[in-house]
Structure 1
Amino acid sequence: MTATPTRSTAGPTPPGKPDIVRPDAVRRKVDAWLKEDDGTDAIALRAAPVWDSDAVIVVGRVRLQVVACPTPLAARAALHDRADDEKLVLLTDLPDAVLGDGLLAHLSRQSVRSVNAWELVRQMFGGVRLDPSLPTDRRWLPAALADHAPVDGWPTPPGTILTRDHALRCLTAELLGIERDQLDASGLLQWTTDAQAQQRFTDRVAADVADGITAYLRDVAGPIAEPVMAAVRAGHGVDVIPIGLLAEVLWPTPAGGTAGGPAGAAASGPAGVEVAVARTRLEPRFGTLRMTPVQAAALHDAADAWVARALDSDDELARQQGLRLVRRAEAIAADIELTSQLAASSLLPAGVTWRLRAFAAAVRAALPPPGAPAAGTVTTAGLGRAEAAFKRLSEHRAADQGRRTTAHMALRLLRWLSRPAGQPPRTLYAALQRQVTVDGWVDRARLDVFAGDVDPEVAEAYQALHRAVDARRARHDEQFAGLLAEATRADAEPGRMLRVEDVLDRVVAPILDAGRQALLLVMDGMGVAAATELAESLSRDGSWIELTQGGGPRAGVLAALPTVTEASRCSLLSGRLAVGGRQTEQTAFERRFTGGRLLHKRSLRAGAGAAIDPEVRAAIDDPTVPVVAAVVNTIDDSLGYGEPGSTVWGQDTVPAVRDLLAVARHRVVVIVSDHGHVVDRGPEAVTLPGGDGQNNRWRPVTSSTGDSAGDRLGDGEIVVTGRRVLLGGGTVVLPWREELRYGPRKAGYHGGATPAEAVIPLLMFTSGDEESVPGWQPAPVASPDWWREPVSSGAPTKAGTGGGRSGTGGRRAGKGGQSAKPVQTEQLFDVPADPQQPPPVAAPPAVTPADADRALIDRLLASERYAQRRNPRTPLDDDRVAALLRVLLAGNGRAGLETLAAQAGVPAHRIQGTVTALRRLLQVEGYPVLTIDADGQTVLLDRTLLVEQFDLGES
């Protein structure tokens, strides 16, 4: 059988003059010759007759003299002068015929042997075959593999063939000093953080080799390879990640654009010029490379991901490195004068500043100028711009949570100001409930805005907003004070209104009558604003369920007057109007509830290691104690020299509540206060005469001269008289403006006639049993609609185009993103009908997004797959499913849990479970039709997936 000739694995010898041979190539060729042991003492290698290395080399134990031989005479001389203990290596570019047979007779194989670079490569990788895809037409690779071979040799390929990827991956990893499996975008960026590794690369690698390595990295690491390697070779490799963070700003991507298209162009106008100039200033850091939009987008994505991982790492060193690179990016932005454009960055902290300033500018623009006829109102357009600016701020990943929360509160106040003021309340009860359901939330937001921001531009906007809010709130305060004075003087029956002296009889006693035990927490000084925060804290994890009377809105309680502890708290705990201190309260409470326990501040203190005093715990655990009342002074104490305006009142800031509730799960918990408070207004505060030096927010009706204070009432004061005025002889002067006071300055005050002081919040909670108290049911969402994100179905859309990509909520505009032109239905002149033409067909009525949403929901509920997925044991009511989906679709595929609960009519504590049931219903084969955002509070609906999974026929 004839053997099939094997194909040579070595590449062809390059034509023309041979190259200068490298020392490693000579050593490897000589090593192979010595292993042949052909009995000769000299070998001639075809190469340029140039040798700049050591004249004598040692291969194994053999000494060899290397001689460059440009002529036959030089070759003969080298053979003649060879020492007996040495062998000879001749480097010549002469052909065999020129050397002659006499000289060739002394050489191995009687010829000049070729130094085939690829044959040497094959040997360096263990004698495997060469993949034809190796770039045999490029001379740099074999030489580079020879020059940069590691001491222990190149890793043998996994198979019997040396692939291009294996050879280049080994060489690249060796030159960069990183592991072979890290040759990707992330690994390349990690390498740029090592300045010494970059220096070694630039010092040891020739330009042609660097070009080849860059080309290979482009294949394995993507478009970022060229800018990374260009920056390294230009000496700016350590700035690659910071520059990558700036690429988002330097190569912006407009909405709907792509990095490789028009999106790569800078914005027009002055901002575009600034960005273009900044790019020019940045170019020297990349040598001769001009980065393309595709490369910039890839570099930004990789750098952004790298820094995000570093900042989220548990490794403190990694976090510090991430922060250092972020700071370096901002320093580079300053160097190239790009700082003012950093609002486009979604990661750099400076971007937060610029986005916050943009939001502040939108707030200022939304507010009417001072003194305008419509002062106190906000236009829809102005509110829309502020909503958009806040959305951009919220999308920034480095936004400080505290500053973002303040901005959110400012936006909520803008929404409130955009609503019509409405008719003034006609009764004190209506004014009291307005404080509980609306104005208390305004006060909560107002406190954050009052605390303000460190940036002067933002602070100015917040100050203007606060003034506008104050103007409306002051009108409400004046209305409340007038109704309070009138009702107090008339002393009529309260009707539905709860008074502080009625709480024990009308709230606590029914709990005991139902056979339940109660825990009454008296949060001294807690107003409605603080109560909203505390209630959220208690119900957040679902372990406590809030109850309201009839499942309606929260109720408020009217404090005794003046709104100070000795009058209002004593009346609360006595169950009747009374004035007194701790001992009076104790006696009256225990007389009202036989076996009941009232615990004041001293009684709540525990010894070392115990959160709750053992006697307190025993009283709460004791089934024979029907009601335990505890007075918690945390909020009232902060009014002295604390921070009542900037503290978020919850279980973390009032640990006594957290600890007491931890051991009182078998009791119904009623949380109430004795009065609210107002905070100090700083330079806006006004100190009035007439006080006794101790009472900051009330004064008697007569001055020291006996003149009637009623004749000298200042702006913001009112006289209140009647049976429920327990101090000052039954008649006092109370301020209804928050900035007024009569005594020394403190952090906060109480005693006056504002609803923030006189309206007491009332909360009731139970752990698990929704039927704990007859007539009380699970509470709805308490926040007003302007507190939550807006829900709108937008503008009309063309019939049949209600569908769209995920998150569009069916809002698809006409061509080019514009609304379709309105159909002209009237003509200027009457034109006779053409008998040859068919009668005109009336245009179909426009279909609104709400119509499209309803049609989609109807198809879903009627679909066969939906019927199959319904859980027959615990079905989610179709009406409830429809209500939830309507809210999500109207909100462009997203809605907060509170919004869902409020809009869909789900009790607040059930919304989590309801959403979970809806997810199970809609998640066909695990596809994420409905998900919860990372914030844990936002529900996301993928409309496209919904249509696909239930085959609803929408494109």
Structure 2
Amino acid sequence: MSREPVRPAVIRRKVESWLGEKEDTRRVIALRAIPQWPGDPVLRIGETTARVVPCPTPLAVRAALHDRSGDERLVLLTELSDSELGDGLLAHLSRAQVRSVDRWDLVRQMFETNNLDPSIVDSRYGGGSWIADALAQYAPESGWPAPPGVIVTRDHVLRCLTAQLSGLAPDQLDAGGLLDWSSDAAKVLRFSKLPGDLLEGIASYLTDIAGPAAVPIMAAVRAGYGSDAIPLGLLAAAAWPTSTASIGPAAGRAAAVADVGTVVAVTRARLEPFFGGNRLTDAQANALRATAEAWVVRASDTDPHAVARMFHRAEKLAVDIDAVATLGASDLLPTGFAMRMRDFGIAVQAALSSKTVTVDKVAAAQTKLDVVEGHRTATEDHHRVETARMAVRLLRWLALPESAAPRTLLEALQRQILVDGWVDRARLDVFAGDVDIAEAYKELYRRVDARRARHDEQFAVLLAADTAAEAQPGAMLRVEDVLDRVVAPILRRKPVLLIVLDGMSVAAATELAESVTRTGTWLELTPGGGPRAGVLAALPTITEVSRCSLLSGRIAVGQADAERAAFAGRYPDGMLVHKGGQRSGAGSVLDAAVTDAVADDRVRLVAAVVNTIDDALDRSTPGITVWSTDTVAAVRDLMTYARNRVVVMISDHGHVIDRGPDAKVVASPSSENRWRPAQPPAGDGEVAVHGSRVGKGGGAVVLPWREELRYGPRKEGYHGGAAPAEAVIPLLVFTAGDDKDVPGWAGAPVAGPDWWREALPDTPLVLETKTGKRSTPEPSLFDDVDASPAEAAQQVARPAMIEALLVSDVYAQRKKGNPRGLLPDDRVAALLAALLAGGGRATMDTMAAHAGVPAHRITGTVTALRKLLQVEGYPVLDIDADGQTVKLDTALLCEQFQLGQP
């Protein structure tokens, strides 16, 4: 009779059950089993001792009975039948018979039920004797948990068994729980030493309930690499990349793509030993990757050090299998981010490799930037990614044809406000550099600098000519005219807070304006709702001349005392506060006299001088500072009390940044940094300026227009010269009230040139005005020369799909059903054109700029467009989780409005 050996644990459970039978007083039990016992012959169960004796023959049974001592219990293992033993021997045995050892009877006893799910027993469904043996061997001291119903199901049994063996709670037996568990090396080691059939059975069960990720996790456990399951999951991104965009440099793309298959195949083969020699399927690998990445997201908040350890281990494994080159495909590993940044740098260099920057190479760099932004590190290393965005913006700018030289100083000034100031903002970031792609940024800066230098020279020539000619300003706003032409008209309607940010350049103003308007409390106003206006500084562009002229209302030279006297003469009931006068004692951010005046409408004009930026030029790092209400706290604090006022924000001059080793020091008879007396005559990079607007040198000075020149000691930044970054003053106006509060002013459009946001095909590179097309804008401060939003919308070409939409019956019905939120057809067309040009996606800023919608109204406009296009609740238009990117479902639009195929 051939019988499967009964495991010691099963025998023990049977003996425990026997000892629990109070009515059975016999001290010997015979169990039908192969008479073999590999373990200690003595079983200790509670206070009872039982000796296990294998008995292949009746004589062996008789000898065991004879040798039994005292209160010792006997457990006889025999394959003899009752008849072979005879009545004499049976009389000594429990129940006077050889009792069977049925695994499943024991299971029923352990779960205290007679109802077993047949699939527990049937190997066709993953059941079998291995379950019964394991339940017997690994039962907890408190016993197995009772089933929730009257039937012991396979899931209940295996969930309890798996939890007991792994140390996981039964409700944690999913892919995420397994991966958490795998990080506990001690638990994984204990589990990996389980018998092979048991490991295989549990692995099969886990695959059923935890999905395909359980297969590689358990394979790694069985291969002895269970504690590496998370790092292996992170490496799955390299061996099973979702795209080829992050593999290989931008140069030689075709060759790189061709090699991807080979690289991937080799990496997968080298990973097989970690999974017991098994090659994972795509589904298993992707599930493991997704689960590992989800673990990183969870653990980043609770145990960032554990995340760092897993990253380090994954990268070490990549080194061991010579797969480092594939890590660019990882959205999480630090090396992957560094590789993506380097690939982006190669794309930037490729775009600059020829004399002309082409659109296709800019697009390639943008693609590489998209890959960089897809990495987890992009949100943590924000500065590096923002610099990369600035680099792409500069490439877009370089790809545009060089504009015609400005014909007037006003054109040159507005170019600085509307275009070159944004270039300056971007190139400052690029100038600061990057640890991985320094050469790419160096070359990009050189190319940008060359074009900007031409613009600077053009500006300086026009500046010198206008100053010498004593030309009337016309539409151009000069610093000495700001009080009369800007502040005075506003004061007739609203009290004003005039914030003079000493040294604020156009580039810095673009950042500060974004910060002020970000929360929605303040909205920007511009003349007629058109582009921002710029102001021309007094010369030389130093505080002593230009700020004093601003606060005096005429060209004047002086320090704070002179400014206070001039201001008091013009506004006897106003208040001018310099830096020292704003300070307060502990617990307050501003002096009480200042806050009281700002809050009091009877004090019609409060002017505050803020020196944060100017101070940074002397002893800080203005080139890498992001100017915002956080870094210029005085602006934030003053505006907190000024909700009842219109805020006019201006500077007295801009600044240029020190060029480090590229700077050139020129000998000068004075020690001023960026201006000198008229003799000796102007040389290379300089311009001679004379006239009544020159407040130093007896009305005649030499000013450098090249930004790298200086005359005085080294500082972090300089001003005084003729570069537009110094001589053009930004003018910002904000209100916390209605955008129609101030006559002549209206809600500002989205700031910044088109190339700052995203490239749109066929987007005009110049401003369209009622007076015709110009190479650069030339607005009057208050004349209505700019196209209205409706006219701007009309300038956008309409694709055939949009034309069909506007004449469709469904569209007419939707308009009739939404009379209150009705948008003009021209605006609908412009908004949809922006979306179609972007492949069905566009940021709100892009849509606003394309459709001529004021910046503060675009959110409401998009909401109205969504309602108009949402037929029967279908989301034709949706907004990404970032709250800024709008998505158009073109196919759904055509279906809902019966437009045919898109």
The TM-score normalised by the length of structure 1 is 0.85
Alignment of 1:459-474 (within 5 A): 459-474=438-453
In 1, distance between residues paired with 2:798 and 2:309?
48
AA paired with 2:171? D
Relative to structure 1, the CA distance from residue 151 to residue 927 in structure 2 (aligned partners, 3 Å threshold; closer, same or farther) is: farther
**CA-to-aligned-CA distance 1:4-47 (integer Å, 9 cap, x gap):** xxxxxxxxxxx832413424434425624862836655432110
- 2:372 aligns with 393
Q: 1:770 Cα deviation (Å)?
A: 1.5
Shift of 1:781: 1.1
Q: Deviations over 1:895-933 (max 9, x none)?
A: 112112111211011112223344455566776554433
Tell me: CA distance 1:152–1:948, structure 2 relative to 1, closer, same or farther (3 Å): farther
2:602 counterpart (592, 599, 624): 624
**1:175 counterpart SS class:** helix
Match of 1:489 in 2: 468
- Find out whether 1:135 has 2:135 as its counterpart: no
| CA–CA separation in structure 1 for the residues paired with 2:433 and 2:346 | 15
Task: Give the SS at the match of 2:233.
Answer: helix
The whole-number CA distance in structure 2 between the counterparts of 1:267 and 1:51 is 64
Contact 1:23 1:53 in 2 (8 A): no
> Aligned in 2, Cα 1:61/1:577: closer, same or farther, shift over 3 Å?
closer
Aligned counterpart in structure 1 of residue 520 of structure 2, from 526, 533, 542: 542
1:862 and 2:841 aligned:
no
Name the structure 1 match of 2:54: 68
Unaligned stretches of 5+ in structure 2? 246-254, 764-796
Q: Which moved more, 1:922-931 or 1:637-646?
A: 922-931
| Change in CA separation of 1:751 and 1:38 when aligned onto 2, cut-off 3 Å | closer
2:363 is the alignment partner of 1:414: no
Report the AA paired with residue 394 of structure 2. Answer: L
Structure 2 SS opposite 1:563: coil
2:877 maps to 1:888: no
SS in 2 for 1:453: coil
1:911 corresponds in structure 2 to 858
SS in structure 1 opposite 2:491?
A: helix
| Aligned residue number for residue 325 of structure 1 | 310
In the TM superposition, what is the alpha-carbon distance from 1:517 to its structure 2 partner?
0.9
- The separation in 2 between residues aligned to 1:58 and 1:717, in whole angstroms, is 102
- Work out whether residues 342 and 351 of structure 1, in 8 Å CA contact, stay in contact via their aligned partners in 2: yes
Aligned match for 2:152, one of 162, 177, 180: 162
Partner SS state of residue 66, structure 1: strand
Q: CA deviation at 1:323?
A: 2.5
Q: How does 1:366-385 map to 2 (within 5 A)?
A: 366-369=351-354, 375=355, 377-385=356-364
* Aligned partner of 1:787 among 742, 756, 761: 756
For 1:757, the equivalent position in structure 2 comes to 726
For 2:811 and 2:563, how far apart are their aligned partners in 1? 63
1:320–1:482 distance in 2 versus 1, CA, 3 Å: same
Cα gap change, 1:942 to 1:691, in 2 (>3 Å): farther
Check conservation: 1:55, 1:67, Cα contact below 8 A.
yes
Residue in 1 aligned with 2:785?
Answer: none
AA in 1 matched with 2:167 = G
For the Cα contact (< 8 Å) 2:539–2:696, is it kept in 1?
A: yes
Answer whether contact 1:522 1:671 (CA < 8 A) is retained. Answer: yes
Cα distance in 1 between the residues matched to 2:530 and 2:810:
30
CA deviation after TM superposition for structure 1 residue 334, in Å: 2.2
1:595 aligns with 2:569: no
Q: Which among 480, 493, 501 is matched to residue 501 of structure 1?
A: 480
Q: 5 Å matches for 1:638-657?
A: 638-657=616-635
CA shift for structure 1 position 696: 0.9
For the residues of structure 2 that align with 1:64 and 1:622, how far apart are their CA atoms?
97
Which residue number in structure 2 is paired with residue 822 of structure 1? none
Amino acid at match of 2:800: D
Residue equivalent to 1:533: 511
Q: Matches of residues 242-281 of structure 1 in structure 2 within 5 Å?
A: 242-254=231-243, 269-270=258-259, 272-281=261-270
8 Å CA contact retained: 1:44, 1:90: yes
Within the candidate set 436, 439, 454, 1:475 is matched to 454
Amino acid at match of 1:562: P
Q: Distance in 2 between the 1:39 and 1:741 partners?
A: 110
* Residues 793 and 850, structure 1, Cα contact 8 Å, conserved in 2: no
Q: What is the match of residue 851 of structure 1?
A: 800
Conserved? CA contact 2:844–2:859, under 8 Å: yes
| 1:115-134 correspondence to structure 2 within 5 Å | 115-134=101-120
How far apart, CA to CA, are the structure 1 residues paired with 2:800 and 2:691? 57
How far apart are the structure 2 equivalents of 1:267 and 1:557?
A: 52
Please tell me whether the aligned partners of residues 668 and 772 of structure 1 are also in contact (alpha carbons under 8 angstroms).
no
Where do residues 428-443 of structure 1 align in structure 2 (5 Å cutoff)? 428-443=409-424
Deviates more, 1:138-147 or 1:55-64: 55-64
1:673-704: CA deviation from partner (whole Å, max 9, x where unpaired): 111111101111111112411x11111112xx
**SS of match in other structure, 2:886:** strand
Residue 221 of structure 1: aligned partner:
210
Q: Is 1:238 aligned with 2:227? A: yes
Q: What secondary structure is seen at the aligned counterpart in 2 of 1:124?
A: helix
Structure 1 contact 29–115 (Cα < 8 Å) conserved: no
| 1:354-398 C-alpha deviation (Å, 9 max, x unpaired) | 1111111111111144xxxxx4x3111211111111111111121
Match of 1:557 in 2: 535
Q: Report 1:292-331 matches (<5 A).
A: 292-311=281-300, 313=301, 315=302, 318-331=303-316
SS at match of 2:482: helix
SS at structure 2 position matched to 1:129: coil
In structure 2, relative to structure 1, the CA distance for the partners of 1:860 and 1:229 (3 Å cut) is farther
Distance in 2 of aligned mates of 1:282 and 1:700: 73
> Residue 54 of structure 1: CA displacement?
4.4
Tell me if the contact between 1:680 and 1:746 (Cα under 8 Å) persists in the aligned partners: yes
How many residue pairs get aligned? The number is 854
Deviations 1:709-761 (A, max 9, x none): 23xx3211111111111111111111111001111111111111111111111
Q: Give the AA of the match of 1:415.
A: R
Q: CA deviation at 1:878?
A: 4.5
- Counterpart among 133, 137, 141 of residue 147 in structure 1: 137
Determine if contact 1:691/1:743 at 8 Å carries over to the other structure: no
Structure 1: distance between partners of 2:599 and 2:146: 75
CA–CA separation in structure 2 for the residues paired with 1:269 and 1:368: 24
Q: Which residue of 1 aligns with 2:77?
A: 91
Q: Per-residue CA shift, 1:823-876, capped at 9, x if unaligned?
A: xxxxxxxxxxxxxxxxxxxxxxxxx99434554565586275x357x4444444
CA distance in 2, matches of 1:34, 1:365: 83
Could you tell which deviates more after superposition, 35-44 or 486-495?
A: 35-44
Q: CA-atom RMSD, angstroms?
A: 2.6
> In 1, Cα distance between the equivalents of 2:150 and 2:863?
55
Structure 2: distance between partners of 1:358 and 1:659: 43
1:483-508 per-position Cα deviation (integer Å, ceiling 9, x unaligned): 11111111121110111111111001
Structure 1 residues 920 and 68, CA gap change in structure 2 (3 angstroms): same
Q: Are residues 17 and 793 of structure 1, via their aligned partners in 2, closer, same or farther at CA, if it must alter by over 3 Å?
A: farther
Q: Distance in 2 between matches of 1:25 and 1:857?
A: 84
2:805–2:897 contact (8 Å) kept in structure 1:
no
Q: Which amino acid aligns with 1:662?
A: T
User: 1:11 maps to what in 2?
Assistant: none
Matched, 1:337 2:335: no
> 8 Å contact 1:271–1:341 — kept in the other structure?
no
Separation in 1 of the partners of 2:539 and 2:652? 11
Please give the alpha-carbon distance, in whole angstroms, between the structure 2 residues aligned to 1:217 and 1:432. 70
Q: Output the CA distance in 2 between the equivalents of 1:760 and 1:34.
A: 96
Q: What one-letter code is carried by the residue in structure 1 that aligns with 2:429?
A: D
Change (3 A) 1:98 1:854: farther
Q: Deviations over 1:234-257 (max 9, x none)?
A: 32222111110110111223479x
Helix, strand or coil at the partner of 2:694: coil
> Helix, strand or coil: the match of 2:377?
coil
CA distance in 1, matches of 2:91, 2:328: 80
Equivalent residues of 1:644, 1:747 under 8 A apart: yes
Between the aligned partners of 1:586 and 1:777, the Cα distance in structure 2 is: 32
Task: Please give the secondary structure, in 2, of the residue aligned with 1:635.
Answer: helix
State which of 179, 196, 203 in structure 2 corresponds to 1:207: 196
| Identity level (%) | 59
Report the Cα distance in structure 2 between the residues aligned to 1:150 and 1:452, rounded to whole angstroms. 62
State the shift of 1:468 in Å: 0.5
Q: Is the 8 A contact 1:780 1:905 kept in 2?
A: yes
For 2:5, the aligned partner's letter is D
**Contact kept? 1:793, 1:849, Cα under 8 Å:** no
